[in-house]
């Protein structure tokens, strides 16, 4: 026998299992989609930062002359740049093409200083002396040399200090030799008779400095200087723009889906309880008691739906990613699941949905019994057949588009759009399908009769 309002609230779940489960599933799907979107957005932003760092290292600017200008960077120019207020530190780089004796071919060569800026830019970790060289793995295999062995460059012997992994660029790894700044400077002097301080400079700006403003100040020193800003790489800018569009689409979709799921399912949820609320109100139940019943039900649905949504998001990240990669034959960058952001998002989502559910529930708890019954009698479910047909059509269309996008459509933007449309149809079809089942459950459910409601209500005192 039920002895409290809380027990009466939980009893409704036992007698309306399908509505309770479908409501929890609705919240679970909404929370899972929101968590996935927020975590993905956070990861995407960090991925762009990591991509810039991977390409450019710690540098913010590179400053130098174009090769066709035939201009040299002298000490006075370097000093003027160094004296700029927002320059934290800079590193000199000399670029040349030196001939490897064994290959009888000139290889792209950089002369660097042993500082963190150069190491992050060219991805080497060990200091290089004037008699040492670092090279990429592909070139090392071609020369058949390992760390500690010697190679001849421009008829001079150098000990291999480090072999770096190849950096893929357009399907091929460019060969590179990394020598000390002094060694390359000496080679340039022997070839040209000129002392070149640097081909270009790697510049690290001070924290929170305006990089664009700094580049403008440096450009004032010499109008012919070429200044490259790490964040302005065209490839990264294009990807970032596409990413923002994708996030906007996801954000819009998640809001629409959440609203549709909640409205469709909880409208049915409240409809099924209105008749029971009317009986309780007619027996003298207060608004406060009715509100407490609804509040407990909403809290239980939100709690289990939110936790399930978080678990679904974690499972999707861990297990579905590999399945999608195999199914659609594309590579997805590994993403760390940020549990801190996810938990905060779940709490916020539960709070928002709680407010969303409580408003119509509060109104229902205050309406008089006669008005409640009249609203139920006037409810129109005549479009049930249309909703059923629409749901089945969307589900079948989503299956067709997913298969088309994965196996038929050409790779690229067209394939992505087809798959995205298929996903949207799947979600919308699921909404109509769940709503249709809920309406069926309304017509076939067994509700409390007045005697049972009266007994259970009396036991609350």
Condensed to tens digits (0 to 9), the pLDDT of residues 164-207 reads 988 764 445 688 999 999 999 999 888 888 888 898 999 998 88
Same domain membership, residue 84 and residue 183: yes
Domain boundary among 204, 224, 244: 224
Residue 386 makes CB contacts below 8 A (sequence gap 6+) with: none
Per-residue pLDDT at 377: 54
Do both 220 and 240 map to the same domain? no
φ, ψ for residue 423, nearest 5 deg: -65, -40
Residue 411 lies in a domain: no
In a domain, 257, yes or no: yes
Rounded Cα distance, 428 and 390, in Å? 9
Residue 317 makes CB contacts below 8 A (sequence gap 6+) with 36, 39, 335, 337
Residue partners of 173: CB distance under 8 A and separation at least 6: 136, 137, 138, 166, 167
Q: What is the DSSP letter of 172?
A: B
The domain of 302 spans 5-53+236-379+445-458
Write the CB contacts of 130 (distance below 8 Å, at least 6 apart in sequence).
Answer: 180, 182, 183, 186
CA proximity to 184, closest of 108, 96, 119: 96
Query: Is the pLDDT assigned to residue 134 strictly greater than 90?
Result: yes
Q: Are residues 204 and 76 in the same domain?
A: yes
User: Residue 71 and residue 67: Cα distance in Å, rounded?
Assistant: 8
pLDDT tens, position by position, 246-266:
666 665 566 566 656 665 655
* Residues 213 and 241 occupy one common structural domain: no
Q: What is the mean pLDDT of residues 51-66?
A: 84
Q: Which helix (H) or strand (E) holds 227?
A: strand 226-229
- DSSP H helical segments within 59-167, as ranges? 75-82, 116-122, 137-143
Identify the residue with better confidence: 190 or 231. Answer: 190
Mean of pLDDT over the chain: 75
435 Cβ contact partners less than 8 Å away, ≥ 6 residues apart: 264, 265, 268, 387, 391
Query: Do 138 and 112 belong together in one domain?
Result: yes
Rg (CA), the chain: 34
- 409 in a structural domain: no
Domain boundary among 224, 252, 268: 224
Give the count of domains, the chain: 2
């Amino acid at each position: 026998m039920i002895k409290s309002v809380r027990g009466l609230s939980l009893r409704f779940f036992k007698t309306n299992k399908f509505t309770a489960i479908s409501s929890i599933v609705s919240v679970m799907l909404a929370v899972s989609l929101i968590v996935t979107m927020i975590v993905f957005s956070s990861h995407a932003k960090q991925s762009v930062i990591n991509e810039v760092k991977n390409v450019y290292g710690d540098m913010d600017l590179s400053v130098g002359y174009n090769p066709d200008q035939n201009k040299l960077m002298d000490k006075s120019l370097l000093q003027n740049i160094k004296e700029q207020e927002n320059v934290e530190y800079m590193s000199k780089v000399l670029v040349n093409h030196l001939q490897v004796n064994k290959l009888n071919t000139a290889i792209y060569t950089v002369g660097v200083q042993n500082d963190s800026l150069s190491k992050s830019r060219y991805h080497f970790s060990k200091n290089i002396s004037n008699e040492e060289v670092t090279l990429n793995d592909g070139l090392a295999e071609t020369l058949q040399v390992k760390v500690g062995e010697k190679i001849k460059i421009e008829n001079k012997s150098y000990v291999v200090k480090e072999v770096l992994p190849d950096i893929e660029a357009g399907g091929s790894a460019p060969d590179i030799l990394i020598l000390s700044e002094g060694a390359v400077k000496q080679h340039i002097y022997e070839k040209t008779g000129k002392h070149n301080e640097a081909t270009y400079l790697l510049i690290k700006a001070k924290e929170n400095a305006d990089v664009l403003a700094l580049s403008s100040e440096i450009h004032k020193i010499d109008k012919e200087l070429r200044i490259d800003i790490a964040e302005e790489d065209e490839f990264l800018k294009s990807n970032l723009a596409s990413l923002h569009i994708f996030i906007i689409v996801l954000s819009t979709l998640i809001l629409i889906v959440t609203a549709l799921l909640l409205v469709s399912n909880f409208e049915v949820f409240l409809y099924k309880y209105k008749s029971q609320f009317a009986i309780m109100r007619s027996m003298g139940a207060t608004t406060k008691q009715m509100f407490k019943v609804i509040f407990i039900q909403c809290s239980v649905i939100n709690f289990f739906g939110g936790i399930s949504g978080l678990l679904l998001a974690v499972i999707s990240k861990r297990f579905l990613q590999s399945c999608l990669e195999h199914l659609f034959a594309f590579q997805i960058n590994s993403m760390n699941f940020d549990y801190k952001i996810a938990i905060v998002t779940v709490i916020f989502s539960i709070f928002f949905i709680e407010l969303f559910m409580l408003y119509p529930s509060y109104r229902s708890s205050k309406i008089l019994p006669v008005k409640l019954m009249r609203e139920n009698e006037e409810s129109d479910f005549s479009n049930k057949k249309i909703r059923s047909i629409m749901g089945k059509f969307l589900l079948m269309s989503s299956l067709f588009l997913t298969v088309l996008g994965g196996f038929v459509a050409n790779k690229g933007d067209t394939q992505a759009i087809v798959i995205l449309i298929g996903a949207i149809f799947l979600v919308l079809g699921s909404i109509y399908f769940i709503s249709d089942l809920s309406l069926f459950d309304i017509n076939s459910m067994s509700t409390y009769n007045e005697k049972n409601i009266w007994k259970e209500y009396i036991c609350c005192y």
